[in-house]
Amino acid sequence: MIRSMTGFARVERQYEFGRLSWEIRSVNHRYLELGLRLPEEFRPLEADLRKCLGEYLSRGKIDATLRFFEAPDAVGSGLKLNLPLARELLDVHAELARLAAVDPAADIGRMLKWPGMVEEKRPDPAPLQAAAVELLILGAQELQASRSREGEQMASAIRERLQGVAALTVQVRAWLPEIRATLKQRMLGRIADMKQPLEPGRIEQEVAFLAQKIDVDEELDRLDAHVEEACRVLDLTEPVGRRLDFLMQEFNRESNTLSSKSVDQRTSKAAVELKVLIEQMREQVQNVE
């Protein structure tokens, strides 16, 4: 089964601390390219998130966006006064006031700006980050399923065109004996019209040369072999996009040779139809993982 490189997945879940949602989009790409958009508190997870996506996807340009909506009643950040530091500053203030023989009131506002006077207590990020990873796994699985569904449709289209290629090779093989006989009669007719007799054995040489020039049996055999290999590759469970892309190049090479050797309108038309089928398959294969 082949998988497309195009897909979309969106997963969302509500937790005690709030709502998390992942949106994952993928398009075709030569390699695996991951792009992550994360809220600041999830930045430390980036390496783990990339590894997670890499376990499910092998090719494609992936854009994954995480959104976090904190619950209104969730325990947020808390501010805590650094009591030891505050007492120490007040003692210093009292000592200075005693030495200066004055009794000014302590400036609470300035004391609050003292470095370390107010400590921010953040909630434990571990449950939040673990939930993001768990939800990403579900999103990656959904994306993979989406790409598999589209891959089934692509495989069906490719198989249909492979059948067309196989049918054309059968047709061309059926035409070849008639084409060769016609060319031979045509050449013999031209030789008969010549006033000068040919050297002994020359006719046989010319016939053999012409037969070799228009011989496409090898190209047809290779086309059949490529069709068989492509059908086999389509049934593999591993990513096969690069293999199919290589096979399309081989298909195209054989169709070009068939076209260049054509001496009959029927085989020329068959070569054009082959190119159309191969191009249609190539367009599909460009999006195969």
Write out residues in the chain with pLDDT < 70, as ranges.
73-79, 120-123, 184, 187-214
Residue 238 lies in a domain: yes
274 and 203 both lie in a single domain:
yes
User: Please, what's the b/e burial string for 145-181 (b: 16 or more CB within 10 A of its CB; e: otherwise)?
Assistant: ebbeebbeebbeebeebbebbbebbeebeeebeebbe
Looking at the structure, tell me whether residues 153 and 232 fall in a common domain: yes
For residues 158 and 155, give the distance between their C-alpha atoms in angstroms, rounded to a whole number. Answer: 5
The verdict on 169 and 273 lying in the same domain is yes
Q: Is residue 38 part of a domain?
A: yes
Rounded-to-integer distance, Cα 2 and Cα 91, Å: 75
Q: How many domains does the chain have?
A: 3
Q: Which of 178, 164, 173 is nearest to 251 (CA)?
A: 164
Q: At what angle do helices 126-193 and 241-261 cross, to 10 degrees?
A: 10
pLDDT at 196: 61
Domain membership flag for residue 59: yes
In a domain, 2, yes or no: no
pLDDT at 74: 57
Same domain, 258 and 137: no
Give yes or no: residues 142 and 249 share one domain: no
Predicted local distance difference test score (pLDDT) of residue 118? 78
Inter-residue contact 68 to 18 (CB < 8 Å): yes
The pLDDT value given to residue 198:
53
Its domain, for residue 36, covers 7-73+125-146
Pair 98, 173 in one domain? no
Q: Is residue 1 part of a domain?
A: no
